[in-house]
Chains A and B, each alone.
Chain A
Amino acid sequence: MGTFIQQIINGLSLGSVYALIAVGYSLVYSILLFSNFAHGGFLVIGGYICYYTLNLMGTNIWVAGFAALVGAGFCAVLTERLAYKPIRERTSVTLYLLIASMGMSIVIENIFVIVAGGRFRALPPVIPTTPVDLFGLATTSAFDLLSLVAAVVFLGGLQLFLTRTKWGLAIRAAAYDLRVAGLMGVNVGRLISIVFFVAGLLAAVGGIFLSVRYTLYPQLGMITIKAFVAAVIGGLGSLPGAVVGSLILGLAEMLTAGFLSSQLRDLVVFSLLVITLIVRPSGLFGKDIKEKV
């Protein structure tokens, strides 16, 4: 029983990190209707900024974390301006954006391979990983609880931003129909920049927690595949769906690792994806896809 509760907590903690990544990815999808594969790159950028600020400048985690979030946010905006904007303005074929994002993902990953080297780096012990006793039921690491709390705080913040601010309203309108939102006087260019900034920021939070959980290396961005799968399970473009999908995925992964075998966890993840696509093709919370001619 103790192991079970422990694995549930681990799963929720991992799932919450996936949720941070999946929500940003889903937000971009809901506006521009393409899979931004460079999203994993934003996560790696955040991780490396945090690592170098901590090591070279010797700042505390709050400053380094802030720098990582803002830096990754700006890199995301820059990526959009350089690679996606020229395509988006010329055609409406989302396949081109998808391919460009795949290219950007390779570019970002290999810039880090060349500049920082491919080796695995451990972040300095800035986030406590001491064991915590949970009401005598189970022992878990403080890190797991912290990442859960951080995810709740940031996702709550995103929810407030989307529901209580003017730009939040504009983003929700654009998710419904970008062109009509533009016709109603929303500055579409700035709106897309804001969306990318938010996505990069959330990815960086996930990146910092992932580089503490595993280590930091250029291919860490590959882990976003799990977040993409979570977003598809929840329904592409739906934010609550992305959160629920991520939690399901985190739980499934940790329970498989705890009770079956840790080699099977990725297989379980992808079988979940296939089963979802067969049973409920548009995901748990996906919009029913009906196209207007």
Chain B
Amino acid sequence: MSNYTEGILILLMINGIAAMGVSLLTGFTGIFTLGHAAYLAIGSYTTAILTLDYGFHWLPAVILGGLLAMIVGYLVGLPTLKLMGDYYAIASIGLAESIRLIIENWQSVTNGARGIPGIDTFTTLPITAGFFVVMAYGAFCLINGRIGRAFKACRDDHVAASLLGFNTPRYRVLSLSISAFYVGIAGGLYAGFISFIQPIMFDMLKSTEMTSVVVFGGLGSMSGALLGTTIITLVTELFRPISQYRMLIYGLVLVLVMVFRPEGLLGRHEVGPALFRKLTRRVTPAPGERGPL
């Protein structure tokens, strides 16, 4: 396998881990985020600083990066996720910009706007694949388990969910924390992949990109988020020569998907035997599979 193909595969899996994080929050809990680049930045800066300045091994550094992102997510979620509505969307932009500004101005630790060069390139294909498989397994277990069902209940009808005894603000904060952990891990791996990080890489465009791939793939489908990431990453690679149109295409994709297929490519279906059976079946659905009415 050539270096180029290997690089793209690694990038695909890193983006996939981040997309699963965003999908958990936006797709499964119904909270729109425009600031997830902040958690990516926390993850990659923590990893870079711990390995370079404190001589940590990369594995604990990446995991600590994820945990730090998780703690920040928890602290941010506490005041902003008690409310419904667009409060978190706006607060997330503000938070992401603040974190970027802190990184840019905290010269002594983060080397400011010049960035941190020379990070050990520990992110090889087997390591990324290992992380990806573990994180994906965790994500699928989570969404099919008790907590995942509570997330979906918060998304679909938070009033009904709270009447059933779910503490919906707590589940929203939990969803944000786990989501931040995923994105933080992706950030750590990303730092080890490109070996040079700079605050400007984690601006609002990055946040928007992360959310748009998930919307494109399907809100409420983990495999949809992965499919969306794969398509968008590969398309970006193919269309590198016309990169000035890239953001325009992202924007148009968002609008067109919302107008024509708001549930995204896969909707709420997961890729698997069930979807295959659904596509090939012609008779009316079995009684248990009918909608709520």
Name A residues whose Cβ lies closer than 8 Å to a Cβ of B: 29, 33-35, 37, 83, 86-87, 90-91, 93-100, 102-107, 109-111, 113-114, 222, 225, 228-229, 232, 236, 263-264, 266-267, 269-271, 273-274, 277-278, 281-282, 289, 291, 293
Contacts and interface: CB of A to CB of B under 8 A. Distances in A.
A31 to B, nearest CB: 14
B248 A103 contact: no
Contacts of A95: 30, 32, 219
B262 interface: yes
A79 to B, nearest CB: 10
Nearest to A111: B248
B84 A289 contact: yes
Contacts of B34: 37, 102
B275 interface: no
B121 interface: no
Contacts of B262: 87, 90-91, 93, 96
Interface in B166-218: 204, 208, 211-212, 215
A277 B247 contact: no
A263 B105 contact: yes
A225 B93 contact: yes
Contact of A107 (B86, B211, B252): B252
Given A236-B85, A281-B79, A273 B94 contact: yes
Interface stretch (B5-13, B96-104, B131-139): B96-104
Contacts of B93: 225, 228
B255 A103 contact: yes
B90 interface: yes
A109 B204 CA distance: 13
Contacts of B101: 263, 266-267
Contacts of A228: 90, 93
B91 interface: yes
A166 B47 CA distance: 60
A95 to B, nearest CB: 6
A97 B257 CA distance: 11
A102 B94 contact: no
B83 A34 contact: no
B89 interface: yes
A87 B245 contact: no
Interface string B66-106: 00000000000001101111110111011101100110010
Interface in B221-272: 244-245, 247-248, 250-255, 258-259, 262
Given A87-B262, A110-B248, A266-B101, A273 B32 contact: no
A136 to B, nearest CB: 38
B89 to A, nearest CB: 6
A99 B87 contact: no
A107 B87 contact: no
Given A96-B258, A107-B255, A110-B251, A229 B90 contact: yes
A271 B251 CA distance: 30
Residue from A33, A106, A264 whose CB has the most chain B CB atoms within 10 Å: A106
